[in-house]
Structure formats: C-alpha cells, structure tokens
A = this chain, B = another copy of it.
Amino acid sequence: METERTSLFEAPPMAEQERMVEAILFASADPVTFTELMGRMPHGAEPAEAIARLRKRYEGRGVNILRIGDAWAIRTAPDLGFLMQKETVEVRKLSRAAIETLAIVAYHQPVTRAEIEEIRGVSVSRGTVDQLIELEWVRFGRRKMTPGRPVTFVVTEGFLDHFGLESARDLPGLKDLRAAGLLENRPAPGTVPLGEGSDADADQTEMFDQD
C-alpha cells in the first residue's frame, strides 16, 4: 500500500533533498549511515547526490561534512578546536602499550592476539585490549582460518570517527608501510609457517583494497 501510493509522487527536487540531508545530519551526534538516510527520506530520494552537494557547500566553513565508513557526520572544523574548551571531553590517557596495540590492530587488521604479541615482542596484558574494546575502538573480527581458529581484532567505525578517518585505508603512512613490506606477516626463518602468513595477507588485501 505504502509503496504503491508513494511511487506516484515524484522525488523532491534536489535542493529540497539537500535541505533534508542537512537537517538529518545536524540533528545527530553520531554518523548517519547511508541506509538510514535512505530510510528517513521520501521515496525516490537520492541521498548520494544530495550529500555530495552539501559537502561542497560546507567546504571551508565552520563545520564540515565528513564521511566515516558508510556514514556521514557534521563535525566542527579542526582549526577551530581552540574555541571549544567548554565542550572538550577529558579522555583517560592511554598507556603506551594501549596506543601501540591500537595502531597494530588498525594497520594489521584483522590481527590475532599472538600476532600483536609477535610484533611488540611482549605479551599483551589483559587490560589493554579490554580498554580498547570498552572505548569501542576495537572489536572482535572474523576468526582466522588457521589452526585453533583464533579470534581476530579489527578497528570500529567509532575509531574512524574519533580520528577523523574516512576508512581504514586512510590511516597515515599505510601505503609506505605496505611498500616497505612492514605489514607482511613474515615467519621467523626456520619455523614452519602455519599458513598464517599467506592468510593474513589475503585478509588485509581484502580489507584495504576493496574498491
């Protein structure tokens, strides 16, 4: 019924769609996914086009339209942060171990605990991963198809949002690291590779080169 009826109406003009996207993004503190935008706008709307226009409109303004994964959000321009002392959220300072672990998860994802330990050369304490999960920056990913089927860790949309990243592909220095072969999972010479190496590589390629 609903769909039949609404298909009789024409989609609102693009300028109107742009206003709608603007209103929806302004009303939410969290990024709004494309699917949600589609669901909230009238039938026949083309949010992608509206977003592109809106993004252009806000270039250089006090607030900007940011893409985070498959979602969009409005955020204040970073150069104006100094005006926002009142809004600043005090975040518990992360330990050096937590920061390194976070970076390893981000650049090597999906990554197992054993791989994190191999890279850092020390065992990962219980609290470290826990803290990152609690911050909702890290979550459990797919299990690895290697003996023992270990769980993996990946970074979340919340992580991307927090660090203003459009996707994990935009991590600083990612290309250089890959070019230098530093994201490879190289087994120690003399050890029997468990197939993890090739698997990890495949996963990573899948994650970062998906377009």
The residue from B80, B133, B179, B180 contacting A20, defined by CB atoms under 8 A apart: B80
The residue from B61, B126, B142, B164 contacting A180, defined by CB atoms under 8 A apart: B126
For residue A138, give the distance in angstroms from its CB to the closest CB of chain B: 10
- Contact between B143 and A62, CB atoms less than 8 A apart: no
The 10 A-B residue pairs with the shortest CB-CB distance, nearest first, are: A126-B181, A22-B62, A19-B62, A23-B62, A23-B76, A23-B80, A130-B181, A26-B63, A151-B176, A151-B172
- Contact between A83 and B24, CB atoms less than 8 A apart: yes
Q: Which parts of A39-60 form the interface with B (CB within 8 Å)?
A: 39-41, 60
The residue from B20, B23, B84, B130 contacting A182, defined by CB atoms under 8 A apart: B130
Number of interface residues of A (CB under 8 A): 53
Contacts of A164 in B (CB 8 A): 139
Copies in the complex: 2
Q: Beyond A129-B180, A133-B180, A179-B126, is A83–B143 a contact (Cβ under 8 Å)? A: no
The residue from B27, B39, B62, B179 contacting A18, defined by CB atoms under 8 A apart: B62
Q: Beyond A62-B18, A170-B143, is A23–B83 a contact (Cβ under 8 Å)? A: yes
Complexed CA–CA distance, A29 and B26 (Å): 10
A111 is an interface residue with CB less than 8 A from chain B: no
Q: Beyond A151-B172, A151-B176, is A19–B80 a contact (Cβ under 8 Å)? A: yes
For residue A29, give the distance in angstroms from its CB to the closest CB of chain B: 7
A166 is an interface residue with CB less than 8 A from chain B: yes
Contacts of A36 in B (CB 8 A): 86
Q: Which parts of A162-211 form the interface with B (CB within 8 Å)?
A: 164, 166, 169-170, 172-173, 176, 179-182, 184
Interface centre among A19, A27, A41, A129 (most CB of B within 10 A): A27
- Contact between B29 and A87, CB atoms less than 8 A apart: yes
Contacts of A150 in B (CB 8 A): 176
Q: Beyond A126-B179, A126-B181, A180-B129, is A86–B40 a contact (Cβ under 8 Å)? A: yes
